[in-house]
Homo-oligomer: A and B are copies of this chain.
């Protein structure tokens, strides 16, 4: 039985972790922390968990957390970098859903997050938890940086093309659409139903914090510098990311070749589902599941490759991917507890 703790579990990635872990027989959620809700039963805040999780929010406390086998940080950035080292020192595996250890270049991190990194010594040690790329190193990791939601959808979409060296890396365009849960469960006017439903808008056009993370990954896949334009859009729905990825081939390609490339690259990836040629994936087909569904299109007239990649931002884009990492770290089946059919409609 794996003893798990969750820090900062009042947000959407927190409740999603609990949804995925609470019914498992091989995992026990021992500690769930929240400074503001300390003393409140978790199921009072999230009534979907009634009967599944009989735990009370507590103040974060190192002693209690150190008794866990694994601790998830479902916190905003800057929390994990201040306390993770202590837990690691006491032998706890740490899975950080925040951005603290995602960027390997400390200066870049500090520029984008506008604060000093307080734990640079762990940056190298952290494994970037994208199992489709780092399967081996995750198995041995003590500290996982779970990828961001946009970075997951975008990297999985470009990965086969970049590894195969098929596209011009100087001018990639990732036009991404996210449901509102990506903004978290904090009270903010922009996330009100009356502000964000029945509307579509781009945001962070001048630069979103996921941009350096995506660029870091794409650069690694391709082995060269990458020119990337990344425009996120707030979409009037709860869950889901749809990444529309544009690229220009550097030599002649065909739909068949691209299709075969994607199918082969992801043949051993249980959570990447390459759709048949001509498909147009919809976010609803992965709602609540840990899947990334991908379709690759070649448009001969404009000579563009267009990849469509969809995930549930709270599952494959956050908590499901965190659990997938945990499974690998603890030698369990990669799909344990994640073999869930998406909720449709």
Q: A interface vs B, CB < 8 Å?
A: 12, 15, 18-19, 22-23, 46-52, 171, 173, 175, 177, 179-181, 185-189, 191-203, 205-207, 227-229, 231, 233, 235-240, 242, 244, 246, 248, 273, 275, 278, 280-289, 293, 297, 299, 301-304, 306, 308, 310, 339-345
Contacts and interface: CB of A to CB of B under 8 A. Distances in A.
Contacts of A301: 207
A306 B280 CA distance: 25
B240 A343 contact: no
- The oligomer's copy count stands at 4
A179 B201 CA distance: 12
A302 B193 contact: no
Nearest 3 interchain pairs by C-beta: A199-B284, A48-B342, A201-B282
Contacts of A189: 185-187
B345 A289 contact: no
Contact of A193 (B175, B191, B286): B191
B284 A341 contact: no
A287 B343 contact: yes
A302 B158 CA distance: 18
A101 B330 CA distance: 51
Given A22-B341, A197-B193, A341-B52, A244 B231 contact: yes
Given A180-B193, A235-B236, A23 B341 contact: yes
A221 to B, nearest CB: 18
B200 A248 contact: no
